[in-house]
Homo-oligomer: A and B are copies of this chain.
């Protein structure tokens, strides 16, 4: 049996001067000695007067090292700016320092924000973010991911909706012993393996807001049925309406694809009806912008003739005119949370605000802007 070692979650960034620097100290390329890269565990071992294995123990924070030894080795490591070679570690550990982001969300804004959040955590570490877009309808969808995992042996992967909701995939990852964190709108895994958003609540807020403005003919364009978030948002919306004594009409509930074009097309159908809705809640901002477009094309003014609410609060929401009322999801924060969960699966390493054994979750917030107004009397 091997000895017990603390999981290596500590980061070995190259020991560079940190913290604020005088203005004029901006380093020029080449200022750092080229020799630095060559320092290996052997050098450190020799210089510290210990074996490679002991250096390895220090690197990996093994408790099995005398405090004195540890200090000595750490000092040498710092002095020489040694960083273990990720490729060598990967080969020996059969696990690389890559963190995969597996996504199939069609909204570019969602993707970019998520990447930013993950990168916030990975930057200045040895971990690298690698991108893995995918398509659940591909015949070799599982195979491609399986190949990626077996070949690259990523440290872990982060899954965003809707691919995060695929139980077959989660099972496959588990079987392959690949760590993962799923981001989803429903509780579908243990707290150490997921970050949750309460889409249901957010949509309910949207409903209550719309209802409070006096609307009654209210439409909903939801996301694809293959997305749990689409269901959560729809049910939350229905729930919110019910509280206000309203009901979501079947004829005014259309399925979109979370894309601009689908939002546009669904809205065209809605506006062509004999008695069109006076308010539309779209399942995400992309589709909501499509609704704006369709409204303009038929001469309807937002919000005078039509009230529109989106979901996500991606940048586009505040760039359209009038600025869109939407439900904010802190996507970047979610990415950050997912990444730190992946790197620090143990409670003690977790940020303080996350309680033991509870799923890290984010509450959406209704952002009221200019696309919603009291229904105009006709």
Contacts and interface: CB of A to CB of B under 8 A. Distances in A.
A37 interface: yes
Interface of A is mostly: helix
A13 B143 CA distance: 12
A29 B142 CA distance: 6
A296 B320 contact: no
B98 A29 contact: no
- The count of identical subunits is 2
B146 A32 contact: yes
A239 B269 CA distance: 46
Interface residues of A, number: 68
A142 to B, nearest CB: 4
Contacts of A315: 108, 260
B133 A14 contact: no
A28 interface: yes
A29 B96 contact: no
B296 A26 contact: no
Interface string A8-48: 00000110100001000111111110101100000000000
B321 A143 contact: no
A304 to B, nearest CB: 15
Nearest to A319: B289
Contacts of A67: none
Most chain B beta-carbon neighbours within 10 Å: one of A37, A128, A133, A296: A128
Interface in A125-161: 126, 128-131, 133, 139-144, 146-147, 150-153
A172 interface: yes
A143 B32 contact: yes
A367 interface: no
A348 interface: no
Nearest to A154: B128
Contacts of A351: none
Contact of A115 (B90, B91, B131): B131
Interface of A: 13-14, 16, 21, 25-32, 34, 36-37, 83, 85-88, 90-91, 96, 98, 108-109, 111-113, 115-116, 119, 123-124, 126, 128-131, 133, 139-144, 146-147, 150-153, 168-169, 171-172, 175-176, 260, 289, 292-293, 296, 315-316, 319-321
Q: 10 tightest CB-CB pairs across the interface, nearest first?
A: A29-B172, A37-B150, A108-B112, A87-B90, A29-B142, A128-B130, A26-B139, A87-B91, A21-B139, A296-B321
17 contacts: A14-B147, A26-B141, A27-B139, A29-B175, A30-B175, A36-B150, A87-B153, A90-B90, A126-B151, A128-B131, A128-B152, A129-B130, A130-B131, A260-B319, A293-B321, A316-B319, A321-B321
